[in-house]
Amino acid sequence: MKVLGIDDNPDINMLLGTVLTASGHEFTSVTDGREGIKLLQKNPYDVVLLDLAMPEFSGFDVLDSLKKDGLIEKQKIILLTASSITDEEISELLKTGVRSYLRKPLDIDIFVEKVEQVHRGR
């Protein structure tokens, strides 16, 4: 499975990459939302891990851009958030095409399981 991580924290990207590669998956990461959009326009990914709270171009901005480009329906997006986003806000985001979400700090076992579930369409 090909996974794209969009998170401004390189340490998080390194952790996600280590865990996913050890589980037999391909992982590409970027630290900027605009770069993530460029990659999604050029390459197919099976799952996208998207941090909501990024400076300059947030995860919300990425979602808006993907909606405008008609790409959101084609993506299996899992939101990653450490912010104090409410359950109601999460519920609204799930209506936009986002498949799931995980709160940071991540439980690694749950993380891998969630990525594989979303990939399988569950």
Q: What is the pLDDT of residues 39-84, one digit of tens each?
A: 999 999 999 999 999 999 999 999 999 999 988 888 999 999 887 7
**What is the spatial distance between Cα 36 and Cα 119, in angstroms, rounded to a whole number?**
19
Question: Over pLDDT 90: what percentage of the chain?
Answer: 75
CA dist 118 and 48 (Å) reads: 10
Total of domains in the chain? 1
Residue 31 maps to which CATH number? Answer: 3.40.50.2300
> What pLDDT was estimated at residue 95?
84
CA dihedral of 16, 18, 19, 22, whole degrees rounded to 10: 150
On whether the pTM is more than 0.85, the answer is yes
Q: Which among 49, 59, 35 has a CA at the least distance from the CA of 1?
A: 49
Domain holding 108, by residue range, is: 2-120
